[in-house]
Amino acid sequence: MLILAAGQWLASRHWPLWTVVPAPYTRLGWAVMAVALIPAASAFAGFRRARTTLNPHKPERTSALVTTGVYAWTRNPMYLGLWLLLVGWAVRLGALSAFIVALLFIPLIGYVQIRAEERALARRFGEEYERYRRRVHRWFGRGTPV
pLDDT one-digit tens code per residue, 104-118: 999 999 999 999 999
What is the distance between the alpha carbons of residues 44 and 49, in angstroms, rounded to a whole number? 9
Cα angle value 79/37/142 (rounded, 5°): 55
- pTM: predicted TM-score of the whole model, two decimal places: 0.88
- pLDDT tens digits for 11-32? 999 998 899 999 999 999 999 9
Name the nearest CA neighbour of 66 among 45, 38, 35, 37. 45
